[in-house]
Structure 1
Amino acid sequence: MLEADKGPGATLDGSGLRVAIVQARFNAGVTNGLRDACLGELAALGVQSENIAHHTVPGALEVPLALRWLAHRGEYDALIALGCVIRGETYHFELVANESSAGITRVGLDLDIPIANAILTTENLPQATVRQIEKGRDAARVAVEMALLKHRLK
């Protein structure tokens, strides 16, 4: 019989977990906020700073490939994708939002590793700014929860 899954109110213990973050530099004002909130929450969850790797890439479309390289290393319990795509006046928004998300999902499924997708897709900069802290924290919680679930189910 499997252990019952922890609900949203359960305490997450990330001590001993290894996590890698890939951060897009495009819209750095927002992605730096995502990063800071994420790192703060990982620390609050007990993930040791020496067990966290942080890498940057130019933009959201480059995030999945960097995640794939990290997953292939086999050194991490979970990965986190950070980025921000803001709608413009062209179709480019849909392309970047859809393709980066699909790539992140494919890496996680193909390489059997939890990935918390915190690439914001918003209509404007104020929306992104409002969401950056909570989404960064949420990414850390999702990564830890899913890594722990994977360990329990294996």
Structure 2
Amino acid sequence: MNQIPTSASSLATAGLRIAVVSASWHRDIVERAHEGIDAELARQGLDPAATLTHFAVPGAFEIPLHAKKLAESGRFDAVVACGLIVNGGIYRHEFVTSAVIDGLMRVQLDTGVPVFSAVLTPRDFHDHEEHRSFFATHFVKKGEEVTSACLATLRGLRQLQALAQ
């Protein structure tokens, strides 16, 4: 059920449509960002179910292309990327990290649709309970932070658009 925005801040974000593209690699950890995204949207007076559309991709490397197609569709005001690129002890980690982050920036600049990253690239991730628990909790926080940045940016862009009219 959509909430009726009551503050000037929520009026500036009413009717937003945000695509969330999440890598399926380490899905149990990465999808914890969705909890933070939902919580921050609700805290700011928006209905997550009415605001978000979720898309899953196999891994982080696939996120930029999906983000580009979603941005070009005209259906979304912003795209949020979620993923975990782990260092498996080989050089590939740095290449994938650079490709994903550079790709997300390129999508944003090429399309004019803001793209936000909750793609984490820890130097040290080991697949044991202590790290899995730490990163699962960390992704909730990153979901909150990326949503806050997304909403603030979209408010600012709406203000700039209003000035131009």
TM (normalized to structure 2)?
0.81
Name the residue aligned to 1:87: 87
Name the residue aligned to 2:26: 27
The alpha-carbon deviation at position 16 of structure 1 amounts to 1.9
1:89-148 Cα distance to aligned partner (Å, 9 max, x none): 101110111110000000001100111111011121525334211111111111111111
Name the residue aligned to 2:160: 153
Matched, 1:124 2:125: yes
**Partner amino acid for 2:158?**
H
Q: Distance in 1 between matches of 2:22 and 2:55?
A: 6
The alpha-carbon deviation at position 79 of structure 1 amounts to 1.1
Name the residue aligned to 1:56: 56
Runs of 4+ in 1 over 3 A off after TM superposition: none
Query: Structure 2: where are the runs of 5+ without partners?
Result: 1-7
User: Does structure 2 retain, via aligned residues, the 8 Å contact 1:20–1:76?
Assistant: yes
Q: Distance in 2 between matches of 1:139 and 1:55?
A: 17
Q: Distance in 2 between matches of 1:146 and 1:60?
A: 23
Q: Distance in 2 between matches of 1:51 and 1:34?
A: 15
Q: Distance in 1 between matches of 2:120 and 2:9?
A: 24
Higher-Rg structure is 2
Task: Choose 104-113 or 131-140, whichever is displaced more.
Answer: 131-140
Partner SS state of residue 85, structure 2: strand
Name the residue aligned to 1:38: 37
Partner SS state of residue 22, structure 1: strand
Name the residue aligned to 2:70: 70
Q: Distance in 1 between matches of 2:101 and 2:80?
A: 12
Partner SS state of residue 150, structure 1: helix
Q: Distance in 2 between matches of 1:47 and 1:22?
A: 19
Number of positions where the alignment pairs a residue of Structure 1 with one of Structure 2? 144
The alpha-carbon deviation at position 12 of structure 1 amounts to 4.8
Q: Distance in 2 between matches of 1:47 and 1:70?
A: 21
Identity of aligned residues (%): 28
Partner SS state of residue 75, structure 2: coil
Query: Structure 1: where are the runs of 5+ without partners?
Result: 1-10
Pick one of 124, 129, 142 that aligns with 1:135.
Answer: 142
User: Does structure 1 retain, via aligned residues, the 8 Å contact 2:32–2:137?
Assistant: no
The alpha-carbon deviation at position 40 of structure 1 amounts to 2.2
CA-atom RMSD in angstroms:
1.6
